Chains A and B, each alone.
Chain A
Amino acid sequence: MPRRLLRDGAIVVDEWRTAGDGAALADDAALMLSLAEFRAERERWLARAAPLGVILAPADNEQELVSDLARLALVAAEFPTVSEGRGYTQGRLLRERWGFAGELRARGAIRRDQVFLLARCGFNSFELPESELEGAEAALRTFSAAYQPSNDRGLGAALRHR
């Protein structure tokens, strides 16, 4: 069964592959790479016609991607544990400071209980266990209001602000 994820508020098949998915990678497969993999062979990856994405580890600085952002269809933040919080800052800055408009994905140890705040930081796609997908879709509506101005595009609906 193909892996599914939550994207823009809907449960869809994930067409993205990682380098670890093996040599059977089709030329037109959307591919996401770690920042280290991307940097090691940057020219080669940029020359590929298929959609390209980069996965940021928590300690990575998203600023390193700024000059390539226009070429990236996806940036993902990795959450090795649920308590890892640096990805929230990476996401927010990618959207608000660097104007990234592509898919912003959260992956790793996240569950439905994290997606609302991640969406408020600009994340619009979430890799989750299959059993979490429906709950996560509903969790995007956990709150209908917020105190802070933020980037709520991942929520699909505007929050009430004062």
Chain B
Amino acid sequence: MTVRILMITALTMFAGTATAGGQSTEKNATKTSASSAETRMDQWKREGRRMNFIADHDHDGDGRVSSIEFEQSRRDRFDATDSNTDGTVDEQEYVYEWEDRLDAQLEIDRSGRAKQTYVRFAAMDKDDDELMSWDEYAASGNRIFTGWDTNKDGVIDSADPERSYNWSPKPDSELTAEELEQRRERKMSYARSMLVMPTTHNLEGVMARYDLDQDGRVERDEFDGKRRADYDLTDFNGDGTLEPDEYASEFEDRMDAVIETFRAESVQQSRRRFEALDNDEDGRMTFAEYRESGNKIFARYDGSQDGYVSLDDPMPPRFEVVEDKQLAASNGD
């Protein structure tokens, strides 16, 4: 299976996106191959990736990508990557190119998330005094706990019936042209994003943060204890209340830890991608080798096989071996 995964990864060389905060590809494959449900967000990202593919390579602006346009893109990127212009791409050139795009995207993701913390703060700061009291912080915790403790027995565990997720956006058919366009941009932006922070919007995130003894259960006092400890730790100046900057700094610390790990993994992965692409293992990738992998990407999107990728093509299926994040996220452009 690993071999197959590497091959798919190879298809995705120079991929536009991978996702931070997930596990390594192999782990994801084994862990998620059984699960089949695709969240709405995952679906949007998948659609967004195809939109990005079209936007990135549609040079004449006719809304579709011809195989010739795509080949030109490949050529351009190959030449840009070949920084010593010797006609081949070596591993260092390949990895550098990836790192540049990785860092640019992570910077965008990071600054967006950092700003969001202030929005979150304002939402939790119910009395609008620019300070988050323990009561305000605890109220937010209470909403998280009761939201996941669906059977109301004071414990978040497998006995809780699955939470019905309340995010149900209007179907596309009910949107105005403007709203559709807005949704399209949102999907494209989700698809480009690489940074995934653990979140209490899913059970894994709740467990990762609050199941301290890792017994698969979060008791109420376990939860409250952790909230209190987090609050006190975040209260850097020890004045008993949280300023926006304290709240943001705590989040940024966690975010930077995730970015650091993800970045290292992602660079490592790009080396493996290079090895897979360098078919004859001579340490140099020729344009022929690069084009070959590109052809497979193009063929995947060109479901109708008419030599054009457009939104009229059938949506490519999800990869079977991997559910989504790491690999499927990187399929494509």
Question: Do A and B belong to a common assembly?
Answer: no
* Chain A residues proximal to chain B, CB less than 8 Å: none
Interface residues of B (CB under 8 A from A): none
